[in-house]
Amino acid sequence: MRLFLLISAVVAVIAIVVTSGVATVVNNSTNEQAHLAIARVGCTASIGPWDSGGADKGRQDASRLNDEQRNIVARIISIGQERKLPPLAWQVAIQAGMTESGLRPLNYGDRDSLGIFQMRPSMGWGTPAQVTDPTYAINKFYDVMLKLPDWETRRPGDTAQNVERSAFPDRYHNWEAMAAFLLGELGNVQDPAGCGSGAGQFLVASAAASTAIDFTKQQLGEPYLWGGNGPDAWDCSGILVKAFAAAGIKIPRVANDQYRKGGAFLPVRDAQPGDLLFWAYDRSNPETVHHVGMYLGNNEYIHAPQTGDVVKISKINWDYAELMPQAVRPGV
């Protein structure tokens, strides 16, 4: 369940302003709440924030782009806005374009590949004149992407690969940080995941939280058992399934599914009692989530840690490298 804000009454007026030869996409709405709604449509925190390599890497990679490349990025963003697509879609297109052509409308490529996305006329992408035209190519890329049934739930580089069908699928991830930085700089979207540093204000506390907390505390001292579903032994995710079931809420069984599908996302620093916290080997990849606990407030969480240990309350290290940047609120 992702956070969606009603934006039917929001009318975004998009313009392209050229300064020193570089187009910057701006949102002319003076309504701050409307801007937040546009930025947050379709919260995709399950795959982000997309900061592979960190913000510094994104800024450094973006600083190497020339005016032609930055204008292509601005065009990707403006067309995405015109089509009312969320920032995730722009992110995918930027990463694909950077990987395929360096964000340039090339008139050459492997075999008959041409343009920003190295589309092949022989494969039905369009005529050579069309695929080398940035406006056509960007719209065509979006058209194909939107036909993918699960593009909104995947990591941007994975979606780029599903459009491009490259023999080197992992290379699209290299530009995550840069694309996220450019969405902020040229697209005026500081939060490409769509959830916002203040998204917690839009997520009311779950009424089930106190019931789930009480259930979990009743298991304090019970031993850890991998795959344990109680009643006398638990693993980290199993105890939470039963805790929220006691409150009438069903969440997935395993930790990484609880992260992706267990409820509404909010920044981890905004977590409230009853929210779920997650740890992963690679914070940019939810598939690597390996542990989950329930936040109790006051920098404490309750969890079933590992073999040889018991259900217990621990202090949280907010700066720990494996702590996922988003918490999950079941029942929202």
**Domain 203-329 maps to which CATH number in 3.90.1720.10, 3.40.1190.20, 3.10.105.10, 3.30.470.10?**
3.90.1720.10
Q: What is the pTM of this model?
A: 0.53
Nearest C-alpha neighbor of 294 from the set 230, 219, 225: 219
Q: Please say whether the dihedral angle defined by the alpha carbons of residues 228, 230, 232 and 236, taken in this order, is positive or negative.
A: positive
Nearest C-alpha neighbor of 172 from the set 259, 70, 101, 110: 101
Report H helices in 5-146: 32-40, 54-63, 67-82, 87-101, 128-131, 134-146
pLDDT in tens, the chain (332 residues): 333 333 333 333 334 444 345 544 444 333 333 333 333 334 444 334 444 455 677 889 999 999 999 999 999 999 999 999 988 899 999 999 999 999 999 999 989 999 999 999 999 999 999 999 999 999 999 999 999 987 887 778 889 999 998 888 778 988 988 998 898 888 877 655 554 443 333 333 456 788 898 899 899 999 999 999 999 999 999 999 999 999 889 999 999 999 999 988 888 988 888 999 999 999 989 999 999 999 988 889 999 999 999 999 999 999 999 999 999 999 87
Packing angle of the helix pair 87-101, 67-82 (nearest 10 deg): 150
| Residue ranges of domains in the chain | 14-196, 203-329
Q: Which residue has the tokens 């500081």?
A: 190
